């Protein structure tokens, strides 16, 4: 059974038949997509030997070798133009690593129309990347599973105008902050509490200039969150 987190990712891929799952690890997502839809073809990319072997074993065991191509390599470098990939998934990593993979592999995204990105932390850097590279966020979800909170961001290649996102949109998510779900409120109340503890630590800092810069940034973020949570 697929985790709630990966099921949420999969829900944005219905109807897409050419998918790349970068950092696929156990290849659960590709197997799920291909068992559900026999027309689906997935390239599962892995940079590390252990997860690469585990993906291959899982695909073999599921009898899906015809539908899933497990390839070893760094990020989007495993993709070839003739794969005709329409949607790229990068899930279960930190936001900065996802952004590095997207930036290094920009060429491979030429014919891709959908990105489904699931950062474990720092979703805001992904939103910033999307705006800067002409991808439009079309959906966001925040889910809680086993005591952890995850975000899923879906972006489409932009045709016209660049999406305008405010500072609050970038930090909290334009859709998530409108929706203000219970889990969203929980995540951001916890963040404010943790930032407040950091502020107290900064008061004791030995480097007052660095501390005052950090303080300003944190105070700005707290103000953004408080306004949205009101
Ligand atoms: N995507 C799966 C999921 O969401 O359940 C697995 C997430 S796992 C925590 C992250 C995987 O990404 C690891 O297996 C790691 O080897 C792989 N990875 C990290 N950096 C990568 C890169 N630059 N290219 C391809 N895979 C990478």
Q: Token pair 């290649």 is at which residue? A: 157
Q: Are residues 188 and 111 in the same domain?
A: no
The pLDDT assigned to 210 comes to: 87
Asked if 2 contacts 10 with a C-beta cutoff of 8 angstroms, the reply is yes
139 domain residue, yes or no: yes
Task: With cut-offs at 50, 70 and 90, classify the pLDDT of residue 162.
Answer: confident
Q: Are residues 154 and 69 in the same domain?
A: yes
142 domain residue, yes or no: yes
Q: Are residues 132 and 27 in the same domain?
A: yes
Q: Are residues 61 and 160 in the same domain?
A: yes
Q: Are residues 124 and 85 in the same domain?
A: yes
Q: How many domains does the chain have?
A: 2
177 domain residue, yes or no: no
Q: Is the CB of 74 under 6 A from ligand 1?
A: yes
Domain with 153, as residue range(s), is 4-164
Q: What is the distance in A from the centroid of ligand 1 to the CA of 216? A: 34
Residue 123, burial from CB neighbour count under 10 angstroms (0-12, 13-18, 19+): buried
Protein residue closest via CA to atom 3 of ligand 1: 92
193 domain residue, yes or no: yes
The pLDDT assigned to 206 comes to: 86
Q: Are residues 156 and 93 in the same domain?
A: yes
Report the range of poorest mean pLDDT among 26-35, 79-88, 144-153, 198-207: 198-207
pLDDT at 161 over 80: no
Q: Is the CB of 48 under 6 A from ligand 1?
A: yes
Protein residue closest via CA to atom 19 of ligand 1: 23
Instruction: Tell how far CA 109 is from the center of its chain.
Output: 16
The pLDDT assigned to 208 comes to: 86
**Please, which residues have CB within 8 angstroms of residue 39's CB and are 6 or more apart in sequence?**
17
Ligand 1 atom closest to the Cα of residue 3 is 5
Q: Is the CB of 24 under 6 A from ligand 1?
A: yes
Q: What is the pLDDT of residues 123-132, one digit of tens each?
A: 999 999 999 9
Helices and strands (H, E) in the chain, number of each type: 9, 7
19 domain residue, yes or no: yes
Mean per-residue pLDDT for 202-209?
Answer: 88
Ligand 1, pocket-test mutation among 32, 47, 78, 108, most atoms within 8 A of CB: 47
Q: Are residues 71 and 131 in the same domain?
A: yes
Q: Is the CB of 151 under 6 A from ligand 1?
A: no
Which CATH number is 63's domain given?
3.40.50.150
The pLDDT assigned to 205 comes to: 85
Q: Are residues 200 and 143 in the same domain?
A: no
Asked if 90 contacts 98 with a C-beta cutoff of 8 angstroms, the reply is yes
169 domain residue, yes or no: no
pLDDT at 88 over 90: yes
Q: What is the distance in A from the centroid of ligand 1 to the CA of 158? A: 26
Q: Are residues 200 and 159 in the same domain?
A: no
Q: Is the CB of 47 under 6 A from ligand 1?
A: yes
Q: Are residues 149 and 197 in the same domain?
A: no
Of 164, 192, 216, the position where a domain reaches its end is 164
pLDDT at 30 over 80: yes
Count of CB atoms within 10 A of residue 36's CB? 12
pLDDT at 160 over 80: no
Mean per-residue pLDDT for 16-32?
Answer: 98
Mean per-residue pLDDT for 96-103?
Answer: 98
Structure tokens that stand for 124 in this block: 């805001």
Ligand 1 atom closest to the Cα of residue 28 is 5
Q: Are residues 89 and 142 in the same domain?
A: yes
> Considering the entire predicted model, what is its pTM?
0.96
Structure tokens that stand for 171 in this block: 């930090």
89 domain residue, yes or no: yes
Q: Are residues 160 and 192 in the same domain?
A: no
Q: Is the CB of 51 under 6 A from ligand 1?
A: yes
């Amino acid at each position: 059974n697929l985790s709630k987190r990966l099921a949420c990712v999969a829900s944005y891929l219905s109807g897409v038949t050419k998918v790349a799952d970068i950092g696929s690890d156990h290849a659960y997502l590709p197997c799920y997509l291909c068992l559900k839809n026999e027309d689906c073809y997935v390239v599962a990319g892995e940079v590390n030997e252990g997860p690469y072997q585990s993906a291959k074993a899982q695909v073999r065991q599921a009898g899906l070798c015809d539908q899933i191509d497990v390839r070893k390599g760094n990020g989007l470098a495993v993709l070839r133009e003739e794969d005709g990939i329409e949607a790229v998934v990068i899930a279960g990593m930190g936001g900065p690593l996802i952004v590095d993979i997207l930036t290094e592999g920009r060429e491979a995204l030429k014919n891709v129309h959908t990105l489904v990105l699931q950062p474990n932390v720092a979703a805001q850097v992904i939103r910033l990347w999307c705006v800067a590279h002409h991808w439009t966020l079309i959906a966001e979800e925040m889910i809680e599973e086993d005591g952890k909170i995850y975000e899923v961001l879906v972006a489409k290649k932009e045709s016209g105008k660049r999406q305008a996102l405010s500072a609050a949109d970038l930090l909290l998510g334009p859709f998530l902050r409108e929706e203000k779900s219970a889990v969203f409120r929980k995540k951001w109340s916890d963040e404010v509490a943790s930032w407040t503890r950091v502020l107290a630590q900064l008061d004791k800092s030995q480097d007052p200039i660095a501390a005052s810069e950090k303080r300003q940034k944190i105070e700005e973020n707290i103000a953004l969150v408080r306004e949205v949570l009101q």
